Amino acid sequence: MVADISSCPLEILHLIAATIDSEDLASLRLVSKQWCDLSSKLFGLAKLQHLRLISSPYSLQSLVDLTAHPLLGPCVQSFEIGIYRLKKHLVNTHPHVEASRANVAALTQFRFQQSGLHIVLLTEALKNLSRHGVVPKIGLFEDVIRAASGQDYYRRGYGYHELYGSIDIASCGGSRATQTLLDLITAGKRSGCPTSGISIDLQWNSLAQQAISRHPGLDQLIEKLTMPDTDRAVPGWNLAVKLTDPCDKNSLRHLNMSATTFHDDSLEDGIDFLTTIKTYLTLQSIIMYKLYFENKHSRILVVDEQVEREGSEQIISAIDDLIGTVNATNVKLGRIGNDEQPLDSQI
């Protein structure tokens, strides 16, 4: 007589579940309640640690429900929100006019954003994770990436098909990176819960760089979220593309800045940027190559050939040399100190 595999000792069942291919864990959970209990944690660790979602009621409510789950919630370690939003002109405000799928989706998304419900749901998800003892990384990602060949590649977060269906968001939508980042920061502050970092996964063109790096007050908001105990700004958004929580703010040991443009809207910004690296980071190594300082009036090349230093003394000496170079260049070129050109539009 063949014994039922489910009658095996619990240790054997755990071993069987642990050897199942990660792609089959979802199916294993459907076999029975016993197998669901045995495999759910493994499923969560394999499939739910790093999530991508979109700004829609269905997607973000699902995030809240998942993070509230006693077994699967603690598996979530990070989540990113897609930055694309459907264009406002698609919102159909005339009931007598037949609405297309794009009209319905645009109206759903527009009302969701205008009501502030997306902030409420993000805040609740962060609170849920905090209750599990999870300190997550939050971030944003670009839904559509254009390759050098001109072909568009779509990165579909959870809930994409429920909202967009067959809509081509590349032609019906646009990126809102700055607003998405502000939404995440607002939710983080309202939740009062710590985060382990901010990730920004964008097609990093010049428009995206300027919209984020020169957004008024954005760096101060990020500081308050990630480093609430400091009263000193971290100048330069390029350095702050990835930030960690307060206990790790001085843990950076190896810094590589290659082909980097720093927007020094005032002359003090560039000096503060270098001084912050020198004073507040305990670096073991630094590599700099093609480092530019730029404002609306001028652009200077601070580092041309690669500078590579190891050890605190060599690093401090190299940065002191750069500070002297920047000061001398500013005087020589008569660079104008203030750049108050407003950002015309955000992405």
Which tens digit of pLDDT belongs to each residue from 289-301? 888 887 767 778 8
Pairing state of beta strands 285-294 and 307-310? antiparallel
User: What is the Cα–Cα distance from 347 to 328, expressed in whole angstroms?
Assistant: 35
CA distance 131 to 77: 13
Who's near 8: CB < 8 A, 6+ residues apart? Answer: 16
Contact predicate 78/51, CB 8 Å: yes
Q: Where are the domains of the chain?
A: 8-47, 49-228, 250-347
CB–CB of 196/241 below 8 Å?
A: no
pLDDT tens sequence across 16-60: 777 777 677 777 777 777 777 777 777 888 889 999 999 999 999
H/E element holding 331? helix 312-333
Torsion of CA 218, 219, 225, 230, to 10 degrees: -150
Q: Cβ neighbours of residue 200 under 8 Å, at least 6 residues apart?
A: 139, 140, 177, 181, 212, 241, 242
Beta-strand relationship, 173-175 and 254-263: unpaired
As given in the structure block, the two tokens for residue 250 are 């001085």
For the chain, the farthest-separated pair of C-alpha atoms sits apart, in whole angstroms, at 93
From first to last of its 347 residues, what are the pLDDT tens digits of the chain? 445 777 677 777 777 777 777 677 777 777 777 777 777 777 888 889 999 999 999 999 999 999 999 999 999 999 999 999 998 777 765 555 456 888 889 989 999 999 999 999 999 999 999 999 998 989 888 888 776 677 788 889 999 999 999 888 888 888 888 889 889 989 998 998 888 877 777 765 555 555 555 555 555 556 555 554 444 433 333 333 433 333 434 556 778 777 677 766 666 667 887 888 888 777 888 888 888 887 767 778 888 888 899 888 899 999 999 888 888 887 877 765 444 433 333 33
